[in-house]
Amino acid sequence: MNILVTGSNGQLGTHLRLLAPQSSHRWLFTDVAELDITSREAVEAFVAQHQVELIVNCAAYTNVDKAESDEATAYRINAEAVGYLAAAVSNAGGRLIHFSTDYVFGGNPNNTPCTEAEPSNPTGAYGRTKLAGEQAALQHHGLVFRTSWLYSEYGKNFLLTMLRLTAEKPELRVVFDQVGTPTYAGDLARAVFTLVESGEYRQHEGIFHFANEGVCSWYDFAKEIARRAGHTACHILPCHSDEYPSPVKRPAYSVLDKSKFKQTFRQEIPHWVDALEQCLSKIKNEC
């Protein structure tokens, strides 16, 4: 089977690239330089030329603040392009696996973990465009995995930012009134890779939540990063979100309920603290 991974230079794409040598299938990795997913014609031609049977779409416009002033671009990448990918692979008899976000719940006053049946209510352009992308994928019987607070050894993310800042600064203020679950991209990539290799993805469609187990605030996450990295000289203080003005209101509580994923696919999900330790170990070993 030929599998196309789009956005392959990002966090998820990089982890899938590392897993691919273990696969019995042929994996094709592209980013914007190799394939413009916002072009319907380019997508259709690539799928036909390479006889693609599965697309794992890791491409996304993820600059939450910038999306407020450039929603058109965010929509092209997060929604329209998803429709092109889903239609092209569906017309070829294949499937799309797509990734979405906890930001679809930004406007809901939640205080218990969000299920897949929870009404979506995004507060900004990023959440709106990602929700539209979900709908585009589902129109062609796609498989959508919502996740939250994604980080890894690669790219730009909260973990790498905190490692740098806590090593450089004597004091740091981090918001404590936004609660969710950090998710290690390596765990999400491994979960999807397992479904692909087993072929189990073919038996399901719709939305599933995947994040690491457990709950914390960004402040808690930053404290744990610094503690485990040994950056104890940096004094981390909790602060409110309004101390960091932003053009978009971020979800105050966006913990995802993973029950459907665990019951359907029978995979265990690591706790976020254990996943963080695994990621930090890899960073240390690569230094």
Quote the Cα angle for 74-78-80, to 5°: 100
The answer to whether residues 159 and 152 touch, using CB atoms and an 8 Å cutoff, is yes
Query: Looking at residues 110-134, what average pLDDT do you find?
Result: 95
pLDDT tens by residue, 165-178: 999 999 999 999 99
Show the tokens assigned to 262.
Answer: 């665990």
Strands (E) in the chain, as ranges, are: 2-6, 26-29, 52-57, 95-101, 143-147, 150-151, 171-175, 179-180, 183-184, 206-209, 216-217, 235-239
- Residue 183, exposed/middle/buried by CB under 10 A (0-12, 13-18, 19+)? buried
pLDDT tens by residue, 127-148: 999 999 999 999 999 999 999 9
- Between the alpha carbon of residue 172 and those of residues 8, 166, 184, the distances in Å are 33, 7, 23
pLDDT of the residue at 286: 78
Q: What is the residue extent of each domain of the chain? A: 2-157+183-213+254-270
**Cα-to-chain-centroid distance, residue 250:** 16
For the chain, what percent of residues have pLDDT higher than 70?
100
Show the tokens assigned to 96.
Answer: 């799309």
Query: Looking at residues 66-86, what average pLDDT do you find?
Result: 98
pLDDT tens by residue, 266-281: 999 999 999 999 999 9
Q: List residues with catalytic annotation.
A: 126
Please give the biggest Cα pair distance in the chain.
57
Residue 287 has pLDDT above 70, yes or no: no
pTM over 0.75: yes
In angstroms, the CA 153 to CA 241 distance is 26
C-alpha closest to that of 126 among 68, 208, 209, 211: 68
For the chain, what percent of residues have pLDDT higher than 90?
93
Spell out a b/e string for 236-259, using b for 16 or more CB atoms within 10 Å of the CB, else e: beebeeeeeeeebebbbbbbbbbe
pLDDT of the residue at 272: 98
Please give the class, per CATH, of domain 2-157+183-213+254-270: alpha beta
In the structure, what pLDDT confidence band is assigned to residue 192 with cuts at 50, 70 and 90?
very high
The answer to whether residues 114 and 96 touch, using CB atoms and an 8 Å cutoff, is no
* 3 state DSSP class of 14: helix
pLDDT of the residue at 245: 85
- Between the alpha carbon of residue 279 and those of residues 11, 71, 100, 141, 153, the distances in Å are 12, 33, 22, 33, 7
pLDDT of the residue at 148: 98
According to DSSP, the β-strands at 95-101 and 143-147 are parallel
In the structure, what pLDDT confidence band is assigned to residue 108 with cuts at 50, 70 and 90?
confident
In angstroms, the CA 17 to CA 56 distance is 12
DSSP 3-state percent helix, strand, coil across the chain (nearest 5)? 45, 20, 35
Bridge partners for 206 per DSSP: 143
CB atoms within 10 A of CB 214: 16
